[in-house]
Structure formats: structure tokens, C-alpha cells
Amino acid sequence: MQGTAYETCQQDTDQEAATTVAVLCSFQRGTRAEQPDFGITDPTFQQMPVDTAEIQRQVALYEPRARLHIKVTDEDTHGGQQVTLAVHIATVGEEETT
């Protein structure tokens, strides 16, 4: 959802997989009563580096079609990190990569 409108995306596309991964990363683990393990640990006050292995585990569990390329960049000004995820749907025979 962007603003006050809903957006749709074609099923079985890279956009759909990326949207699913974005939703997964937007939920703090434990906030969904029907699936308490869904989501990731809030990284706001965690020690660095960001736990990208947790993101990979959760994506493998909840969106097994998705293949991730994760890039972690250290920010110079505030000492934080920026995590960028590139997502696409796996093709037949494609191995999982980071």
C-alpha cells in the first residue's frame, strides 16, 4: 500500500517475491499472533553487524522461491549500517546465494 491506495503485482514475478520479503522484514518477530515466528528481530538497538543470516533464514522459511543478494554498507556519519536486499525468483536448478 502506498499512501491511500493499494497496489497489486503479478504473481510469480520478482516484484511479488520482493514485496513478500519487504513485508517479512517489516514485521518484528512476535507481533503476529497467528504466526509468532514471522518477521525479524528489530535491529534498531542490536549490536552490529546486522544479522543478515536471520533475514536469509526467515526468507528461506516464508518465501522459499526468493533468492537474495544482500549488501551491507557502513554509514560514515552516524556509525550505523544500511542493508540493501536485491530479490528475484529462483529459476529451475538455481542454488541459493547471498
% of the chain surpassing 90 pLDDT: 51
Which of 38-52, 55-69, 80-94 holds the top average pLDDT? 55-69
| Per-residue pLDDT band at 4 (split at 50, 70, 90) | confident
Q: For 70-97, what is each residue's pLDDT tens digit?
A: 998 887 677 778 888 899 998 766 665 4
Residue 7 lies in a domain: no
Residue 79 lies in a domain: yes
Residue 21 lies in a domain: yes
Whether 68 has a pLDDT exceeding 90, the answer reads yes
Residue 68 lies in a domain: yes
Helices (H) and strands (E) in the chain, counts: 2, 2
Residue 1 lies in a domain: no
Q: What are phi and psi of 53, to 5 degrees?
A: -65, -35
Residue 53 lies in a domain: yes
**Domain range spanning residue 68?**
14-89
**CATH code for the domain in which residue 24 is found:** 3.10.450.40
Please state whether beta strands 66-74 and 81-89 pair in parallel, antiparallel, or not at all (unpaired): antiparallel
Number of domains in the chain: 1
Q: How far apart are CA 35 and CA 23, in angstroms?
A: 14
Among 53-57, 62-66, 75-79, the minimum mean pLDDT is found in: 75-79
Whether 65 has a pLDDT exceeding 80, the answer reads yes
pLDDT score recorded for residue 43: 79
Residue 94 lies in a domain: no
- What is the pLDDT of the chain when averaged over all its residues? 84
Are 75 and 46 a contacting pair, CB within 8 Å?
Answer: no
